[in-house]
Amino acid sequence: MMEVPDILDSTKPVLYETGYEEWPYAYAGSCFPVRWRNNLYIVSAFHCFENHQVEPEATLYPIPTDTERFFGFCCKLRAKVNEAHDLKHFDQIILQVSAEIHSNEQLCSVAAPDLSNSDSVISLSSDQIVDVWLRGYLSENSEHEVDYANSKIRQQAYVTNGYVSSGKSLFGYCHMLKVKTPTPEGMSPDGMSGSAVYGVDNNGNSKLAGTVIEYNSLTKEFLVIDSMVLSKLLKTENA
């Protein structure tokens, strides 16, 4: 079994404030960080927020050097490829962490791939991929919950690998990915949306391959937006 990439620890649950006094916190899928040189971003699936009717800026992503505080955001972005024949790849939200209210130490404390370096990304269509890794937060996991009865917020990730196959989806700039154990036996994949897929190449390097947005229960495959969509957007934004 291959060594678990350290970068996986940066994938977090989408924890947000509900605005209700009696139920102040809730979960809505998964999210992960990327950077473009000195700029830090938090990425997730847009439908996670749309389904829960919450603004993406409400995401509470912890600052590693100060776990009692969360990052603040200065803007949100959507990645759209004009050449695409559909909008499935548009189901992605990117939150830029504000450099004005956070120190360089805080921004650099997050382990995140720098997409300005082409060696940090890989496509699931690449024949160099020998394995993939995913880390997400399953909604049905009883160890992952906001426990109001005991006033506790518990986080429990599900980590999986075991590359079986990948292929281009019918949707543009997306791939279908199959792994050996996509979820624990009998558990719904709900909550995996917004998690990062890291591809391990034949040299043992872990690279961002894409963002999970759906799961096909018939074929037992994840639908993944190609990492190129995200890197292309950030390149344009930082030009």
Q: Is residue 11 in some structural domain?
A: yes
Distances (CA, A) of 18 to 15, 24, 27, 123, 161: 9, 5, 10, 36, 33
Please provide the DSSP assignment of 165-183 as one string.
EEEE-SSTTEEEEEES-SS
Identify the sign of the CA torsion 231, 132, 206, 127.
negative
Q: Is residue 190 in some structural domain?
A: yes
Over range 202-227, report the average pLDDT. 96
pLDDT of residue 2 exceeding 60, the answer is no
Give the per-residue pLDDT at 148: 84
> Which pair of tokens denotes residue 94?
């990117």
184 phi, psi to nearest 5 deg: -60, 150
Number of residues in the chain: 239
- From CA 89, how far away is CA 171, in angstroms rounded? 8
CA dihedral 208, 48, 40, 73 (to 10 degrees): 180
Of 206, 163, 140, 111, which Cα lies nearest the Cα of 1?
Answer: 163
Task: Encode pLDDT of 60-113 as tens digits.
Answer: 999 999 878 999 999 999 999 999 999 999 999 999 999 999 999 999 999 999
pLDDT of residue 57 exceeding 50, the answer is yes
Cβ neighbours, 10 Å, residue 39? 17
Mean pLDDT score of the chain, rounded to an integer?
94
Q: What percent of the chain has a predicted confidence (pLDDT) above 90?
A: 88
pLDDT class for 1, splitting at 50, 70, 90? Answer: very low
What's this model's pTM, rounded to 2 decimal places?
Answer: 0.96
CB of 172 closer than 8 Å to CB of 80: no
Q: Is residue 1 in some structural domain?
A: no
Residue 215, SS3 per DSSP: strand
Residue 224 sits in which domain range?
A: 6-237
Task: Encode pLDDT of 152-171 as tens digits.
Answer: 899 999 999 999 999 999 99
Q: Is residue 217 in some structural domain?
A: yes
CB of 178 closer than 8 Å to CB of 131: no
Q: Is residue 48 in some structural domain?
A: yes
Of 89, 102, 91, which Cα lies nearest the Cα of 63?
Answer: 102
How many domains, in total, are found in the chain? Answer: 1
Of 211, 175, 178, which Cα lies nearest the Cα of 193?
Answer: 211
- From CA 193, how far away is CA 108, in angstroms rounded? 25
Q: What is the CATH number of the domain that holds 64?
A: 2.40.10.120
Q: Is residue 37 in some structural domain?
A: yes
